[in-house]
Structure 1
Amino acid sequence: MTKRNWKGTTTTVVAILMGTSLLMNGQAYAASETSLTSTTTHKLDKQQKKHKNEQNLQQSIEASVEDQSNEQTEIQQFYQMVQDGTNNDLTANEESTTDQNGTDSSSTISDPSTEKDNRATNTSAPSSDIADQVISKGLKYKGVPYKYGSSKKTTRTFDCSSFTQRVFKEVGISLPRDSRQQSKVGKKVSKDQLQKGDLVFFRSYGSSSSRITHVAIYAGDNKLLHTYGKPGVTTTKFEGTSWEKRFELGRRVI
């Protein structure tokens, strides 16, 4: 069969029966079921392989998203906190910050005359009992908003170190005002040695610097009791989270 295209060029198309051959212009042409099957199978194999690769890629993406979901959530929560450079705590020069929301006169505390810069004042009660009291006192403030630079004279808002100072004060233990000073009192403990009631100190997320930017109370059972960002006073998991990655040291003041 002869076809003519728009350019005037003719093309000859010849149909060859399956299993036969044709000699044309000195060139032999043959058609076989095997060659057709081979060509068709090759095309199907390529399509199946492409589809399989697309499935593998999709599964890989989904697995990656799932693996990172918890950490992404924690990172987002962290960046709701006031960035430190200044991160979460007052420096010694900022201790005179006044509270914009007023003070709670029924729970105002004064500076103890016997407080020392590098030592916590303890009581004579058993340490386990005091630790339970610390957690109990802290939990009653659950939901109180976080506010950077909160006055130590109020319980209407807290930053991380004013919260720890307040809670320990209520069980008879005096702590310095900011987290960097608090990280120097008591006995240093490792992550594996943490007990209920210990102070836990953190550096900034992703930082190699050992500069303290946050403090929490270890509440036992892999839980931290602290305040930050949007949740305010809350409890969060410790091990297996970004908080564990930020861990700098623990301090036992009970």
Structure 2
Amino acid sequence: MAGTDAANAPAEAARAARSDARRRQILLAAAPLMERNGSQAVSMQSVATEAGVSVGLIYRYFSGKQDLIQAVTEGVLDDMGRRISQALEPEVDPVRQIAGAFAAYCTVVRDHRQAVMLTYRESNTLDEAGRQVIKEMEMRTVAPLRSAVDTAVEHGLLRPIHTELYAYDLLTIAHSWALKHWYFAPRVTFEQFVRSQTALMLSTAIPPDHRSRYPDLLGDLAEAHAPGAGPAVSRS
């Protein structure tokens, strides 16, 4: 029996990989379609056509449009969780952990911009159980960032701020790359957006006597209001 299970393992792994690939294919087609037109105007047939699969295949993986929206949202949050865990390297200065986690948030939003927009537009169509799952996933996603903020405050590297609000502020700013993409994209590159927002958010929280430790994160704002520094001078 054990030998049979071992012999079947490669085939099972291949089937699971094909199943995951099909799900991703369907979700990648559904997210932009629903974001452009609204879920009410999108039929499962149109999702199937966009994905290049049959309607029957979609129903093998998803029970309906609400299930699709739920899966799209959970996919974004799963990716955020993975990338933030990778960004929060142990033994790294907590302020740098915050900057790395924020960059990871922004990168996920950039890579899943239409899915993020869909989440904002259609989350109210989910049932109460679905919304609760999303809330719990988002709280788990934010938790490592809040932990880094807590540590930075405890070590005096950040002012005594409301750490939970600060963590959610960072998440909201990351989302703004999707929500206000029409405004930001023609004016700044994604990299400029991340650098500028990182500098702005950290400069409001890092005490003046610690700013000199983070010139690479704060840029021109590293010297603003530092001990003995005069008024900030525009360099434009």
Same fold (TM over 0.5): no
Structure 1 length normalisation: TM-score? Answer: 0.22
More strand by share: 1
Structure 2 length normalisation: TM-score? Answer: 0.23
More helix by share: 2
Larger radius of gyration: 1
Greater RCO, 1 or 2 (C-alpha within 8 Å, sep 6+) = 1
